[in-house]
Every structure is written in structure tokens, then in C-alpha cells.
């Protein structure tokens, strides 16, 4: 396949007119406009006229829970498959779904099913590529539990973490902790070479969060949400993230979880290379308003708000990652080129898959989105095949 007449998002994070040649599931060649020659085309090749649209890498969501009525923690092949199908059609062509805070034995079963789905997907290639699992709980704080079920919160345990990893067959890429809780710092020291440790649902002070980062934690779950607040005398987790250059931070740009001014300030404070756009979407994404569940708790959805029915706490989002990226550009004033990187190459680097995903370059996966100047999807290409047009 050759995709012609497009503005290509390059590794330099700029758009350049040109064409893309794809062979099987890989990008074979990038031809800039001045280099294009008619003799490059083989007679048997399919040519897709991009109509002058933008072409960007398929997005990667490394923190979300579900969509279209399904949740990753449903723990079934059917749920994961339907989630992967929806995400791919929305331009999120690689995923790393997140667990909720559930009983450890239940989590092990969910992780085992995920490992089986991964095994099957390597043969079927159905839906978004399953890159790993982001464990948001159960090693978190009751004081900042958010929409997590506090009955299932437990202290950090290396033994339990390794049971999780065994059940998942090594697919756990991120494990969340609240560093102020017992055994958290020794836990970070012990597992940091095996898995990326994130700060999640934590009431840690600046000092305790900085200690965790200094001991090897390298990621922050949905910055500002479910964590100690950022203020001028007590900068909390956000301040510790800012002072720890090796740490990458997730942020939800759905227009609900973080004010646009705070999003802009965060980009100025951390720099674009350290920010990862996530959706944190739950099963109501792509569904009508109504009552749903998240981690065993009832959630009420109205418009783009999802809250716990019991106390009104925010319960994830109902916005997919592509629409979060669009919101960041159109409503928050973040440059398009910056937002694309934060939803493609940055999560790829965090997951250690940047040699395969996240950029448009020869040898990389042919997972692409064509979109117009209003940021509306025109086509999605997955593994070198058009799956939405």
C-alpha cells in the first residue's frame, strides 16, 4: 500500500508533505514530496489518496479501564476483545489497560485471562495491540481512594506483586503504590528493576513522594487526581514530580478532570517530553448516559461526567484518548504537534516499545490515523490494513 498526498507527522514532531509506503504490517519507506517519483509505484500496489489530510501514528493509551459496556476487570476474553476492537476504530491502536482495586485472587484471574488474550491476539491480530497491564491498585491509600474500593486496599507486598506478574506472564508494565503507606519504599527498591513503579492514589507529602522517586519510582498516575494537592507551601506529589526529571506523568485532558489552565501550566512546568495523555475511560465510554459499574461500585454517567453514585467522586472518564487529545488542542491550547507526541511516542517510551510503536518511520508498525484539519478521523490503518474509512 502507498498512502499519497498526506502531511506526515515526523520523528522531529513536525508535519511534512509526502507519501508512505507500507509492506505487510510495517512502514517500508517515507517519501517526502520533493522525492516522490511515479516510477516508485508497483502496478500491483494499492494507492490510498490521503486527500491532503494529516497522518499520525496510532495512539497508545496506557491507562484506561474499558469502553462500549465492557471493563478490563470483567476478566473475560470477550470483554478484552471488544475493548480492543473499539479502541482500534477510535485510532487507539495499542493499549495497556488498567486494573481496579479488587481482591488479590480476583486480580490474578483477570491477569491470567489477559495473558491468554495476548497469546491469542498474536495469531488473530484482532483489535488494538495489547502491550501490557497498568496495575492502579491494590497498593494505594484509603485517604485518596477515589473510585477504588477501599475494602480491597492492601499494603505493598513483593510476594503478591510477583504472583500478579506470574499470572500475567510478565505483562504487568506498571504497578501503582502510595509511598506513605507501610513497606512502600522497600517495595520500590526491590521491584524497580522488574517493573515501572508509579505513584497512584496517594496522599504523600512532597518529601515522601520525592523519596519514592529518589528510590526508583518513575511514573505518576493521572496527575492532580487522587493525590495530595499542589500548593505554594505544600507542593505534594505534583511538586515532587516536577523536581524529578526521570519521572513521566499521566494527565487526563477530557475537560473534566483537570482545568485547562492547570494543563497548560503542567506542560510549562514539566515539558512535553515527560507528559503522557491518557483517557482513564471506563465502560460507559461510547455508550449512552445511565448507570454503570467500575471496580464493583455503581457509577452514574451524564454527558462527559462519570461519578460514583454513592458520593459523587469522579469515577474515570467517558472520553476515549483520541477525543482527549482533540480536547487538549481545541479547548486547552496545547499545540497539535505536542499533543500527538504525548499520546504516541511518550507512552511508547514509558512502555519500552518505542522501537516498534509511536512514530512514523521505516521499520515501525503500520498503525496510522488519517485526520482532517478539524481533527476528525478520516481513516484508521492497523497492521497495514484499512480498518476504518
Looking up residue 29, the CATH number of its domain turns out to be 2.30.40.10
Task: Provide DSSP, 263-300.
Answer: HHHHHHHH-GGGEEEE--B-TTTTS-SEEEEETTEEEE
Task: Pick out the chain residues at pLDDT < 50.
Answer: 38-39
Q: What pLDDT was estimated at residue 45?
A: 82
Decide if 133 is inside a domain: yes
Q: The whole model's pTM is what?
A: 0.96
In whole angstroms, give the CA distance from residue 71 to residue 106: 14
Task: Provide DSSP, 66-123.
Answer: EETTEEGGG--HHHHHHHHHHHHHTTEEEE--EE-S--HHHHHHHHHHHHHHHHHHHH
Q: Which residues constitute the domain of residue 344?
A: 60-351
Q: What pLDDT was estimated at residue 34?
A: 64
Decide if 359 is inside a domain: no
Q: Are residues 211 and 297 in the same domain?
A: yes
Q: Are residues 280 and 372 in the same domain?
A: no
280: annotated active-site residue: yes
Q: What pLDDT was estimated at residue 325?
A: 98
Q: Are residues 241 and 304 in the same domain?
A: yes
Tens-digit pLDDT profile for residues 366-381: 999 999 999 999 999 9
In angstroms, the first-to-last Cα distance of the chain is 15
Tens-digit pLDDT profile for residues 20-57: 999 999 999 999 876 555 445 555 689 999 999 999 99
Query: What CATH code is carried by the domain that includes residue 219?
Result: 3.20.20.140
Q: Are residues 238 and 96 in the same domain?
A: yes
Q: Are residues 347 and 381 in the same domain?
A: no
Q: Are residues 75 and 52 in the same domain?
A: no
Tens-digit pLDDT profile for residues 255-293: 999 999 999 999 999 999 999 999 999 999 999 999 999
User: Three-state SS for 311?
Assistant: coil
Q: Are residues 129 and 85 in the same domain?
A: yes
Decide if 357 is inside a domain: no
Q: Are residues 47 and 73 in the same domain?
A: no
Asked whether the beta carbons of 90 and 320 are under 8 A apart, the reply is: yes
Q: Are residues 152 and 295 in the same domain?
A: yes
Q: What pLDDT was estimated at residue 277?
A: 98
Q: Are residues 51 and 65 in the same domain?
A: no
Domains held by the chain: number? 2
Asked whether the beta carbons of 329 and 339 are under 8 A apart, the reply is: yes
Determine which one of 254, 280, 323, 383 is catalytic: 280
Q: Is 297 left (phi over 0), alpha (psi -120 to 50) or beta?
A: beta
Decide if 356 is inside a domain: no
Asked whether the beta carbons of 201 and 137 are under 8 A apart, the reply is: yes
In whole angstroms, give the CA distance from residue 356 to residue 221: 24
Q: What pLDDT was estimated at residue 177?
A: 98
Mean model confidence pLDDT for the chain: 95
Q: What pLDDT was estimated at residue 331?
A: 97
Amino acid at each position: 500500500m502507498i498512502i499519497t498526498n498526506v502531511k506526515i507527522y515526523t520523528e522531529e514532531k513536525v508535519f511534512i508533505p509526502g507519501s508512505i509506503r507500507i509492506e505487510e504490517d510495517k512502514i517500508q519507506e517515507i517519501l517526502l514530496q520533493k522525492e516522490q517519483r511515479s516510477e516508485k509505484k508497483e502496478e500491483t500496489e494499492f494507492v490510498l489518496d490521503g486527500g491532503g489530510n494529516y497522518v499520525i501514528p496510532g495512539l497508545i493509551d496506557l491507562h484506561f479501564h474499558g469502553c462500549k459496556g465492557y471493563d478490563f476487570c470483567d476478566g473475560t476474553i470477550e470483554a478484552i476483545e471488544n475493548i480492543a476492537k473499539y479502541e482500534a476504530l477510535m485510532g487507539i491502536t495499542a493499549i495497556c489497560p488498567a486494573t481496579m482495586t479488587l481482591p488479590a485472587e480476583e486480580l490474578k484471574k483477570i491477569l491470567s485471562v489477559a495473558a491468554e488474550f495476548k497469546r491469542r491476539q498474536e495469531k488473530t491480530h484482532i483489535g488494538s495491540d495489547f502491550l501490557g497491564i497498568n496495575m492502579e491498585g491494590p497498593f494505594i491509600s484509603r485517604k485518596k481512594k477515589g473510585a477504588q474500593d477501599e475494602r480491597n486496599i492492601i499494603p505493598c507486598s513483593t510476594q503478591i506483586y510477583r504472583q500478579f506478574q506470574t499470572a500475567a506472564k510478565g505483562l504487568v508494565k506498571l504497578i501503582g503504590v502510595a509511598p506513605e503507606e507501610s513497606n512502600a519504599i522497600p517495595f520500590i527498591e526491590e521491584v524497580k528493576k522488574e517493573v515501572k513503579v508509579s505513584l497512584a492514589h496517594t496522599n504523600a507529602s512532597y518529601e515522601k513522594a520525592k523519596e519514592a522517586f529518589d528510590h526508583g519510582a518513575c511514573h505518576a498516575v493521572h496527575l492532580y487526581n487522587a493525590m495530595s494537592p499542589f500548593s505554594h507551601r505544600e507542593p505534594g506529589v505534583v511538586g515532587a514530580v516536577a523536581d524529578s526529571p526521570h519521572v513521566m506523568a499521566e494527565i487526563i485532558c477530557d475537560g473534566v478532570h483537570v482545568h485547562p489552565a492547570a494543563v497548560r501550566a503542567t506542560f510549562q512546568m514539566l515539558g512535553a517530553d515527560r507528559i503522557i495523555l491518557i483517557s482513564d475511560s471506563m465502560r460507559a465510554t461510547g455508550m449512552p448516559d445511565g448507570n454503570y459499574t467500575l471496580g464493583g461500585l455503581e457509577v452514574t454517567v451524564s454527558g462527559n461526567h462519570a461519578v460514583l453514585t454513592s458520593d459523587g467522586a469522579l469515577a474515570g472518564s467517558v472520553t476515549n484518548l483520541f477525543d482527549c487529545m482533540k480536547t487538549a488542542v481545541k479547548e486547552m491550547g496545547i499545540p497539535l504537534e505536542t499533543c500527538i507526541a504525548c499520546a504516541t511516542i511518550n507512552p511508547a517510551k514509558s512502555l519500552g516499545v518505542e522501537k516498534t510503536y509511536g512514530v512514523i518511520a521505516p521499520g515501525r508498525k503500520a498503525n496510522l490515523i488519517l485526520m482532517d484539519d478539524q481533527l476528525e478521523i478520516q481513516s484508521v490503518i492497523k497492521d497495514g490494513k484499512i480498518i476504518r474509512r
